[in-house]
Chains A and B, each alone.
Chain A
Amino acid sequence: AQKITQTQPGMFVQEKEAVTLDCTYDTSDPSYGLFWYKQPSSGEMIFLIYQGSYDQQNATEGRYSLNFQKARKSANLVISASQLGDSAMYFCAIPSQGGSEKLVFGKGTKLTVNP
């Protein structure tokens, strides 16, 4: 079964600095994708970035980028130039086995950006 591990319950970063949020995964699917979502205190899940397992390059989306290391089964999210509005929970997710649209989420990392 698919599994996502986020080992950092909480992270702190100074405004304008970069931060890396860790995510490792376990899957037996030969092809898969990794997702990152942001959940502010209001509760909505905001899609940030997607990485396909066969993508040649690491995904980037504005200030968000993925440090994808397939052999190590890790897909760490890098947020550059942190802003106060980045304070939120961040979840890494992978589709359920067999390419299903169902997502399996990690436990999340709470990021706090300090002024």
Chain B
Amino acid sequence: GAVVSQHPSRVICKSGTSVKIECRSLDFQATTMFWYRQFPKKSLMLMATSNEGSKATYEQGVEKDKFLINHASLTLSTLTVTSAHPEDSSFYICSAGTSGRVYQETQYFGPGTRLLVL
């Protein structure tokens, strides 16, 4: 099946710094990528939908200026957590969509990035 990578897998940073997380589709082109956030023992919550070449669509309650998303190519989307604070500590997962086929396995998930803000 299709492979999605995320980098880094873990990151620890100081409060106030910015952290960039990369999501890459390795063997297919993803016109749409999704960014999820997951707190410990909780479900995945969609943060935003990233479309190649256009602005991301954020879910209600997600701060656009806090979580900057760039989808510069058909294989790469980045999430930048700006001025990170301890409450931003979480598990961030991306997925890449194979658009046009909604009623099949349409999303391939990356392995996730654990962010710890001290």
A residues apposed to B, CB below 8 Å: 31-33, 35, 37, 42-47, 50, 52, 91, 95, 99-108
Residue pairs across A and B with CB atoms within 8 Å: the count is 62
Task: Identify the closest chain A residue to B114 (Cβ).
Answer: A43
Q: Which 8 A-B pairs have the closest CB atoms?
A: A45-B109, A43-B112, A101-B97, A44-B111, A99-B102, A105-B43, A33-B103, A105-B44
Known contacts A101-B32, A107-B42; is A31 also within 8 Å of B103 by CB?
yes
Give chain A nearest CB distance to B69 CB in angstroms.
14
Interface assignment of B23: CB less than 8 Å from any CB of chain A: no
Contact pick for A102, options B1, B34, B42, CB 8 Å: B34
Distance, CA A107 to CA B43, complexed state (A): 5
Distance, CA A46 to CA B108, complexed state (A): 8
